[in-house]
Each structure stands twice: as structure tokens, then as C-alpha cells.
Amino acid sequence: MLSDKLQEALNEQVKLEGDSSQIYLAMASWAELQGFEGIATFMFAQSDEERQHMLKLVKYINQRGGEAVIPAVTKPELDHSSFKTLFEQLFNHEVFVSKSINELVHIALEERDYATHNFLQWYVSEQIEEEATARTILDKINLIGDDKGGLYLFDNDIKGFNQQGANNTAI
């Protein structure tokens, strides 16, 4: 059985994961409108992944005797001035999500809820991967600079980034 404090914190994470899905979806739509087919494909896939993270939390809360609260959709406020700015926002958001997950782990330990602590370890690992992916992409964008040819190649290569992961991609 989940404590009230932990249930509330997990439900806050449900909202954060849902917001993350919306942020990626907004980024995907912007990229698609700008003609960045590869970036759009990457962002649409990330949006789906974040929604799955949210659903995993919802199911866990309900399975543990809690009540998952499905949050309202929040419209993302993003700076669309460049694809580099977009990915900087993505990286900063992933760092924020990691801090939130770490706080959840802390609460689980305070509440001596070792089942939830164990459940959250998947999210801890996932966030390491998410931050690494965003950092790797930003490094590539910084290498490209203002080179339009490099941007074209980057946009083409990023399509397969979701399947290959940060450590195995050709980007």
C-alpha cells in the first residue's frame, strides 16, 4: 500500500511525464513545419516514449492500492527560435525530470517503501540514458554550427537515433 505522501509524489510524476510527452509533441510539430523530417520523427517517437513512462506510473500506482490521477494537458511554452534552442530546452527538461525522479526515490526511502524504490530504479536508469542522448545531440549540433550541409546530414541521421540509442548511433 502506498503512503499518501508517496502517492501524491507519484501522481506529480505522472503529470510531469505527461507534460514531457506534450513538450516533445510540440517540438515534433515545430520541426515538421520547418521541414526537419528527421528531427520531427525523433521527437514524435520521444513523445510516445514519455507517454509510456506516464502509463507505467499510472498502472503502478493503481496496482499498489493507490489512485492514479490523470492530469489536464498543459500547453508547452517553448522557444522555437532554432533547432539548437529546441534541443537545449530538451536537455534542460530532462535534467529537471531526473531531479524529480531522484526526489521520488528519496521519498520512497523515507517512507521505507522498498517496492517503490525498486520500481523507480528503472526511471533512474532511463533518465541517465535520456540526459546522455540529449547531451550527445547537443554536442553534434555544436559541431555542425551554421553549416547547412551538416544540418541536412544531422536531420537525416537523427531519424534512427531512437532505435540505436545515444551510444550506438551514426550521428
> Binding site membership: which residues?
17, 50, 53, 94, 127
Residue list, annotated binding site for Fe cation: 17, 50, 53, 94, 127
25 near 43, Cβ under 8 Å? yes
Among candidate residues 93, 106, 100, 102, the one with its CA nearest the CA of residue 135 = 93
In 10 A of CB 110, how many CB atoms? Answer: 11
